Structure 1
Amino acid sequence: MNPSQQRRDPNAIVPRGSHRLTAGDYFRRFMEETMREMDRAFSIGPYWESQPNLHECNIGNSVGSVVDNAEKFQVEVDVAQFRPNELSVNVRDHELIIEGHHQERSDQVGSIERHFVRKYSLPQDVQASAFESRLSDSGLLTVFAPKSNAPAGRSIPIQAASARSNSRRARQ
């Protein structure tokens, strides 16, 4: 049977009539199928509905990214272990405070209760009353506020003395 006459089974690891599948080809097919299954499993619904236990010990631990430039102050924190109603964002005493807390609940091996508090000192020129926050479907919390529009600087004109006072200096 020549290769063009072989009937192909897309689910078969080894094509019919061929025993020439290398270990690399076998591993590549295995990994492609595994990754497709993982994509399918993790792409359904928002993160807080399924609560996978992938990051049990990473609860607000990472600093995330902090942007502090002339236009804005912004922080991003991974809060995928918490539902939106379990999170709070506050500004007190010139600090941005992000908290997450959920009550004790059962899991596969017992029960768990999680709580974290992350505090950021605010720059002097941030508009504390203008903070906004957004939570992505993947559990990334972004909190940001614009900076005050302080004047960038200005040129100060030099006032020259009158011509009369300049001529007096020249004579002396």
Structure 2
Amino acid sequence: MAHVTDTDPVLRALAHPLRLRMLSLMWPGPLSAAELARELDVSHALASQHLRRLDAVGLVELAEQRTRRGGRERRYRTVRGTPLSDRHEGAPMLAETMAHTLRERAGRRLEASEGVTVDAELWVDPRIWQDVRRRLTELAVELHDAAQPAHAPGTIPLGVSMMAFPLQDTAPADPPGTA
């Protein structure tokens, strides 16, 4: 596995739970560092630092500048099609960040709410995998396209974390009982 310093800068930027949340919040529309800081309950300086990191690797883009309280407010949005999937190198690092995010979200799960939880290691026909992968991608796009700004009237917050990928076959060299 590549060392963190050798890892793609985009993956290093994605490997922080706060930055993943920022990308989600900026998906439906642009936000400033101050707006992100309020939503995430962090300092303006910390939100700005993470926003600069996302901007430096091209995961967000400047959407608008406006005058606010005598200064210029820059509002950024998530670049559509940002690469969270199909990345082999750095996948364990991204999985660790997603696991952290999942633990935090699971603690905020609405009591007695409906959800879907799946954990599986399965063997399937490659054609089935390709079809399921396509449908999972379509569902992720559908959810992202339906996303609205945080706290928009008539919306509910959702937690969605997903990684699905083929595994290396780690079968033992000799079948059990033949050694």
Q: Which structure carries more relative contact order (alpha carbon 8 Å, separation 6+)?
A: 2
| TM-score (ref. length: structure 1) | 0.26
TM-score (norm 2): 0.25
Identify, as 1 or 2, the structure richer in strand. 1
Which has the larger Rg? 1
Please state which structure has a larger fraction of its residues in helix: 2
